[in-house]
């Protein structure tokens, strides 16, 4: 992952319309839109759930996917494993980092054959300590979403990584709603999470638009992940809350501007800022003054531009006498004061 700028991930997820060609086109579009990486998910319906339609496996929690079963949802949304190599090659051809979210040990084993450089743990797998330990044992950077996690869950996932000697961990603040309400983003958690757990922190963002992502970067997020789709009309489980190329490109542009604006801690004045001090306030003679006349609020004031002495000296000058005749508009200097 990049060290000096936000690592921006385009999440392909189920946004391939069950077409490898469409998936490859999406990879190209992600590159054109400014992504640093393309991420997929590695599971099959049988590695993530059971083909069972009893009450336990029905989706009815007020989600986009209510009315179907877990198995049918994942059957619609998974990325065939025999596509992975082609997607990886296209990503590398485009200069993108390719990696994935494994959902079981067999997925990790398969991804190892592709030599993926990063492992992502999904929010709903954060309590699967054996999976986290197994992925982390491969000595790759770990990105872990925290959408449904308690503090104890987060600490447990970090401990699992540490237990196998993996300390390269990035936590992602995440709201596991699809789409997520902006008011539930709670982005102030990002710097607190970094301080609490001593790791890098980013954002897995399911809100619409990109204002939340920009705010996250301003608060210190080092990773931004957004679902990406060529066109929402393609449909699929994630289409409605995924970004189009135009939207993603605009987000990336604005993130890079935020990074420039954040800059570094500095109180230095640039040449332009120094030149602009010309237009700051200073003391000027504001009425014609005769020699010996007393300086008062009527004939000396703090105004723009900045050619006179600093206004902070006004109280030292009031009541003093003029050393000579001075016309309105004369910058005040210490020589104007009679000894």
Query: What mean pLDDT comes out for the span 93-121?
Result: 98
Query: What mean pLDDT comes out for the span 189-218?
Result: 97
Q: Is the peptide bond before 179 cis (omega within 30 degrees of 0)?
A: yes
How far from 17 is each of 100, 231, 234, 254, CA to CA, in Å?
18, 10, 6, 29
**pLDDT value at residue 70:** 87
CATH number assigned to the domain covering 7-43+78-262: 3.20.20.70
Torsion angle (degrees, nearest 10) of CA 272, 273, 275, 281: 160
Which CATH number among 3.40.50.300, 3.60.15.10, 3.90.1210.10, 3.40.50.2000 corresponds to the domain 271-336? 3.90.1210.10
Secondary structure of residue 327 in the 3-state scheme = coil
List pLDDT tens digits, range 34-44.
999 999 999 99
Structural domain spans, the chain: 7-43+78-262, 271-336
List pLDDT tens digits, range 143-183.
999 999 999 999 999 999 999 999 999 999 998 778 889 99
Q: Report the alpha-carbon distance of residue 157 to residue 113 in Å, rounded.
A: 24
- Examine the pLDDT at 65 and tell me if it is beyond 90: no
**pLDDT value at residue 1:** 53
Give 68's pLDDT tier (boundaries 50, 70, 90): confident
Give 277's pLDDT tier (boundaries 50, 70, 90): confident
Same fold for the domain at 7-43+78-262 and the one at 271-336? no
Q: Are strands 330-331 and 282-285 parallel, antiparallel or unpaired?
A: antiparallel
The winner for highest mean pLDDT among 63-72, 269-278, 290-299 is 290-299
List pLDDT tens digits, range 5-46.
999 999 998 899 889 999 999 999 999 999 999 999 999 989
Q: Closest Cα partner for 81 from 50, 64, 104?
A: 104
- Examine the pLDDT at 52 and tell me if it is beyond 60: yes
- Which pTM value belongs to this model? 0.86
- Examine the pLDDT at 244 and tell me if it is beyond 80: yes
Classify each residue of 313-325 as buried b or exposed e, where b means 16 or more C-beta atoms within 10 Å of its C-beta.
ebeebeeeebeee
């Amino acid at each position: 992952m990049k060290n000096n700028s936000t690592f921006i991930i385009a999440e392909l997820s189920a946004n391939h319309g069950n077409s490898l060609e469409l998936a490859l086109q999406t990879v190209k579009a992600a590159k054109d839109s400014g992504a640093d990486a393309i991420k997929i998910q590695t599971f099959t319906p049988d590695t993530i759930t059971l083909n069972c339609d009893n009450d336990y496996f029905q989706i009815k929690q007020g989600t986009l996917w209510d009315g179907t079963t877990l198995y049918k949802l994942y059957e619609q949304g998974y990325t065939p494993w025999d596509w992975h190599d082609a997607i990886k090659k296209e990503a590398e051809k485009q200069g993108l980092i390719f990696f994935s979210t494994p959902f079981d040990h067999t997925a990790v084993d398969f991804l190892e054959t592709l030599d993926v450089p990063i492992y992502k743990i999904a929010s709903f797998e954060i309590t699967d300590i054996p999976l986290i330990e197994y992925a982390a044992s491969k000595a790759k950077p770990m990105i872990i979403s925290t959408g449904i996690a308690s503090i104890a869950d987060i600490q447990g996932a970090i401990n699992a990584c540490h237990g196998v000697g993996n300390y390269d961990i990035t936590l992602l603040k995440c709201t596991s709603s699809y789409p997520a309400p902006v008011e539930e983003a709670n982005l102030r958690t990002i710097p607190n999470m970094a301080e609490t757990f001593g790791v890098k922190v980013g954002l897995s963002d399911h809100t619409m638009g990109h204002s939340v992502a920009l705010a996250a970067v301003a608060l210190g997020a080092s990773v931004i992940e957004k679902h990406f789709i060529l066109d929402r009309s393609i449909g699929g489980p994630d289409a409605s809350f995924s970004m189009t190329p135009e939207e993603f490109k605009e987000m990336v542009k604005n993130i890079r501007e935020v990074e420039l604006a954040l800059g570094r801690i500095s109180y230095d004045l640039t040449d332009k800022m120094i030149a602009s001090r010309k237009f700051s306030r200073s003391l000027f003679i504001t009425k014609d003054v005769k020699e010996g006349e007393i300086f008062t609020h009527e004939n000396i004031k703090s105004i723009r531009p900045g050619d006179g002495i600093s206004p902070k000296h006004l109280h030292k000058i009031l009541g003093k006498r003029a050393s000579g005749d001075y016309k309105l508009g004369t910058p005040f200097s210490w020589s104007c004061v009679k000894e």
